[in-house]
Amino acid sequence: MRVLAAMSGGVDSSVAAARMVEAGHEVVGVHLALSRMPGTLRTGSRGCCTIEDSSDAQRVCAHLGIPFYVWDFSERFKEDVVDDFIAEYAAGRTPNPCLRCNERIKFAALLEKALALGFDAVCTGHYAKVVTVDGRKQLHRAAAWAKDQSYVLGVLTGEQLDHALFPLGDTPSKDLVRAEAARRGLETASKPDSYDICFISDGDTPGWLSEKVDLTPGEIVDREGNVLGHHQGAQTYTVGQRRGLSIGRPAPDGRPRYVLEVRPVTHEVVVGPKEALAVREIVGARQSWCGAPPAEVAEGLDVEVQVRAHGDPVPAHVRAVEGETVITLVDPLLGVAPGQSAVLYLGDRVLGQVTIDRTVAAEPALAQ
């Protein structure tokens, strides 16, 4: 089988490629140049697409004895991931750029090009599993739940799963992957993990956004509309945020206040107590399925839902209503924001995901 190994320059993709070579496949390594500043160097351990990462990936491929290429996807990454991220925040939503990158770059643009060049599959270092059931591919959680990345792969379609390989899916821990890399003599064995948003190198999302979004000063208000303070731009706040509110005085009950809603049209940030973050229903029209959706969704299906990459799955009931996916939570969930992705699970199997358009608060008066 001809396999295109997506090489980020990290230990996971290095070991994944090594396992494909060891399995006897014809493997070619490719590093995606996603930055529009090709001289960019890694800041700390945040990066995953810098010039240093490209060099690391090249050295690994040389060690494995496989061809190595760099493909420039920077323009498409800017349009499909970075610009989308900016537009979502400008609209008062909270996007997940890693999901968008997997959807539109690694398993759309990259896979499309790989297939056009005659490759059979794309291999990555994600911690997830592709399982064949009754002749059809399904996406499942990884064996290492602490490293499971099936959430950010919840946007994959059935056709994409047919050409996706995740060699690390059955590995019980990241420590074992690092130990294997060391045994294989891979230079990336002790390389730190990347984290946060790759195109915001210092991790200061509000600061980065302030240079990209037209910010208008506005008011910070409570649920009754009382003005508690002022801000320089509503788009730099996210639902569930507690720090950096600059209200200046405690609430009457002395308890912390959190961002409940961002209103970019009126330039208001609504704050309130933690319990006011609780939602009982999640609704979205932009859904995708990892293969054919279960027929039961039309009538209603008991599932688990996860709304953050490192969040815990919670029991819920999902149903299709007039072109929308409605997810009713068994127990209220805190701090769910429009723009996030709700990934649906049936046991370890990923059914698909829906981008959250709105939520219904556990207290009706707080509905967004």
pLDDT at 323: 86
Do 165 and 129 fall into the same domain? yes
Residue 70 inside a domain? The answer is yes
pLDDT at 291: 80
Do 45 and 85 fall into the same domain? yes
Do 10 and 154 fall into the same domain? yes
Q: Which residues contact 316 (CB under 8 A, 6 or more apart)?
A: 282, 302, 303, 304, 305, 327, 328, 329, 330, 344
Do 300 and 361 fall into the same domain? yes
Do 247 and 291 fall into the same domain? no
pLDDT at 48: 58
Q: Read off the tokens for 139.
A: 């996406």
pLDDT at 42: 46
pLDDT at 16: 98
pLDDT at 112: 93
* 61 contacts 67 by C-beta, under 8 angstroms: yes
What is the domain range of residue 57? 2-190
pLDDT at 310: 86
Give the CATH number of the domain where residue 348 resides: 2.40.30.10
Q: Which residue has the tokens 């991220």?
A: 85
Give the CATH number of the domain where residue 267 resides: 2.30.30.280
Q: What is the mean pLDDT of each run of 10 residues along the chain (368 residues)?
A: 96 97 98 69 51 90 97 91 91 88 90 96 96 92 90 93 96 94 95 78 80 88 90 87 80 83 91 92 92 78 93 94 92 92 95 94 59
pLDDT at 115: 95
Q: Is 183 exposed, middle or buried (0-12, 13-18, 19+ CB in 10 A)?
A: exposed
Do 60 and 177 fall into the same domain? yes
Q: Is 214 exposed, middle or buried (0-12, 13-18, 19+ CB in 10 A)?
A: exposed
Q: Which residue has the tokens 């602490």?
A: 146
Do 255 and 287 fall into the same domain? no
Q: Which residues contact 242 (CB under 8 A, 6 or more apart)?
A: 256, 257, 258, 259
Do 8 and 155 fall into the same domain? yes
Question: 91 phi and psi, to 5 degrees?
Answer: -90, 5
Residue 205 inside a domain? The answer is no
Residue 240 inside a domain? The answer is yes
Q: Which residues participate in catalysis according to the annotation?
A: 101, 198
Q: Which helix (H) or strand (E) holds 269?
A: strand 268-272
Q: Which residues contact 217 (CB under 8 A, 6 or more apart)?
A: 230, 231, 232, 233, 267
pTM: 0.88
The type of residue at 277 is: L
Residue 207 inside a domain? The answer is no
The type of residue at 233 is: G
* 156 contacts 101 by C-beta, under 8 angstroms: no
Count of domains for the chain: 3
Alpha helices in the chain (DSSP H): 11-22, 51-64, 74-77, 83-90, 97-101, 110-116, 158-161, 174-183, 205-210
